[in-house]
Every structure is written in structure tokens, then in C-alpha cells.
Structure 1
Amino acid sequence: MPIGWYLREVDSLLTKFVNQAFESFGINRYHWQIMKNIDTHEKICKDLFYHQVHRFVNESEYESLFQELVSRNWIVLKEGKYWFTPEGKDAFAQISTLQEANRDAITKGTTEEEYLNTIRFLEKLIVNLGGNV
């Protein structure tokens, strides 16, 4: 099969797996990506983060993701950026534990070296095709 098939298949299966795992929290893969970025950077600008997910969600869906997290009182908009609330930090900690188990299940039977080599390989393909990483 061509590499594009494998890439699409993995992405589709990964999204399905993560969405099912996060179902009990009422979130999906893209909610998680927003939360993970807030955890990494302490706060994020919604407009600047959109470039990371614009191929996967349209603007309306993207807006809904943020509004859903705001309505749960997990994130709040302050000074033009989104931050965790105390409830959001607690939820993130719980979901993060689940995500670690997800990652272990997904990468079972692989080494860290294989994982990193795959990432480097995919980054080279992206750059060779004119994209940015």
C-alpha cells in the first residue's frame, strides 16, 4: 500500500481510539490538544493555535471546542488568552493519566528509538513536500 494509505489509516484509528478513551470525560482528541497546549504553555491564544488543527476542524468546530471547555469551567479567557481554571487543572491531571495509558497501549511493542525515528522520518517528508514542522 502507498504511504498515504498508512498515514490516513493510523490517523483515523488514532482519532477513534482516543475519542473512545476520552468519552467518559465528554471530550475528544481536539479538546485534549487544546488542554495539552494550555498545560505546556500555561496559556494559549486561540487564533494562533488554530494553525495546528485547521486541517482537521473547521472554524465553527474549533470555536465549539473552546466554548465547550469554557462551559465546563475548565478554561477561562483572560487578557485575550485561554488559561486553566482550578477545575480544568484537575480535569487535565486525570485525563493526562489516561492519555499516558493510551500512549503505552498505542506504542506497545515499539521502542522509543523507533518512535523518534518515525517522527523524524515524517518530519522529513513534510519538509520535502513544502510544509513546516
Structure 2
Amino acid sequence: MQQQRPVGWWVKRLDELLERGLDDVVAAEGLSRRHWQVLDTLAAAPSARPDLDAALAPFATPARVDGVLADLAARDWVEEHAGLLALTHDGRGAHGRLAGAVAAFRRRVAEGLSAEEYAATVAGLARMVANLEGQPRR
């Protein structure tokens, strides 16, 4: 039965499990997956708000990002200087506390797949997205 399901079913189910699983990983800090995504994005580099919105667009509306940023700012984990959002010292600490657990979750997701299988899966999904995103039909 499982092999008869179309790719859309598997993608939707995996997204649900990723959402719930990552929410569970960061719940000890009172956070959601969206909080983690903002923390992780800003841990890579400070960001202008439009760039942060663009990075998170597949996952959250700008209004949702507003709420997450407000919560992170209230915790003194994010601040804005000269038009750039950045993690504070405490925000970097929170990111560091969570990074190991998130990495362990990501390893669990790919458990049993070789590096080649994982790369092929991602490449296949990326190709499907490209097929449907503004690519001319053949």
C-alpha cells in the first residue's frame, strides 16, 4: 500500500512530521519551528527584514515572522541595529543550546539513507519543484 501512494502524499506527510518533530525539539525553550528558523537564519548572518521575510517565505507570512521576532526581542535574543536584525549574546546562546538537538533530529530524519540516497532524494524533489515552478511545459 505504501508504495502505491503518490509523491504528494509522502511530501505532505513528511512536512507534517518535520513540523511536529522540530516543534518538539525546540519546545523545551518555549519555541516553535518558526522561532528556530529565525534564530538559525540570523545565526548565519545579520539580516535586513526584507531578506529575512524572503528566506522564510516558504514557511511563514511576514505577519507570522513579526510575531516570532516580537517574541524573540522580548526574550532579548534579537535586536535591530542600522536596519539589520541580529542575534544578541543571549540569542546566540539559545541558538547554541538548540543546534545540537536540531542536528540530532535532522540525522534521525535521514537515518538509514546513504549520503548518495539522501542527495538523490533532495535532487529528485528539487527537480519536481522546478518542473512546477515557472518551467515551460514540454
TM-score by length of 2: 0.87
Report deviation, 1:87. Answer: 0.6
* Aligned partner of 1:28 among 8, 29, 32: 32
Q: Does 1:118 align with 2:116?
A: no
* Alignment counterpart, residue 16 of structure 1, candidates 16, 20, 28: 20
**Gap runs ≥5 in structure 2:** none
Q: Which has the larger radius of gyration?
A: 2
State the partner residue of 1:59.
62
Cα distance change, pair 5–27 in 1 and its aligned pair in 2 (3 A)? same
1:4 aligns with 2:37: no
Equivalences, count: 131
Deviation readout 1:60-117 (Å, 9 max, x if unpaired): 2220011111111111111111111111111111100111111122221112211111
Matching of residue 106 in structure 1 with residue 82 in structure 2: no
1:77 alignment partner, SS class: strand
Q: What root-mean-square deviation, in Å, do the aligned CA atoms of Structure 1 and Structure 2 show?
A: 1.6
Secondary structure of the 1:57 match is coil
Q: Secondary structure at the match of 2:31?
A: coil
Deviation at 1:59, TM superposition (A): 2.9
Name the amino acid aligned to 2:128. Answer: L
**Where does structure 1 lack aligned partners over 5 or more consecutive residues?**
none
Q: Percent identity?
A: 23
User: For the Cα contact (< 8 Å) 2:53–2:61, is it kept in 1?
Assistant: no
Moved >4 Å (runs of 4+): none
Alpha-carbon distance in 1 for matches of 2:47, 2:7: 33
